[in-house]
Amino acid sequence: MEWTGARYADKPTVEVHTWIAAPPAQVWRLVSDIELMPRMSSELQSVEWLGGGGPALGARFVGRSKHEAFGEWATTSHIVEWEPPKRLAWAVEDPQYPSAIWRFTLEPQDGGTALREWMQMGPAPSGLSFAIESMPEKEQKIVFVRMREFEANMTVTLEGVKKLAESPRTSGEASL
């Protein structure tokens, strides 16, 4: 990721992608299993569906995270896009005014799957907002550093999905 000079109000985005030697339906089973995601993240600690639901448009889940600089926190996310086996997106906190939006996009490509993970910061305040408010002169640097962290973590997530999808055990139960 290169310096953009973005501020939080700009709703900065980051996207990573990979190609996986597995069909979209197989990759979809992994990316739509959000309870699997903490296994691939140093920040996301756990995920739990709310209301006895599971993945579907409008479903909600709580994600618990931990970061050395920010401590521990929990957020409620809402599934805002659900198009198996093509697209899954969720808005963090208020779906009409989210603190972040996350999206997986899958496309058939060259006998496998092109997988993209994208996220947008803001427009609603998030945990990062406190750091920005306490050091407004450093806002662009704070945003840039956090976006680079997201990019690195998303890359690890996609590598984990790729490893599971391409493993001989197609059930997705292979260990990372």
Tell me the mean pLDDT in the region 56-74.
89
Closest alpha carbon to 38 in 53, 48, 27, 25: 48
pLDDT in tens, 70-125: 789 899 999 999 999 999 999 999 999 999 999 999 999 999 999 999 999 999 99
Q: How far apart are CA 156 and CA 49, in angstroms?
A: 23
pLDDT in tens, 21-35: 999 999 999 999 988
C-alpha distances (whole Å) from 45 to each of 3, 42, 57, 101 are 29, 7, 23, 18
| Predicted local distance difference test score (pLDDT) of residue 169 | 66
DSSP secondary structure letters along 65-102: EEETTTEEEEEEEEEEEEETTTEEEEEES-TTS-SEEE
Long-range contacts formed by 137-140: CB under 8 A, 24+ apart: 139/7, 139/8, 140/5, 140/6, 140/7
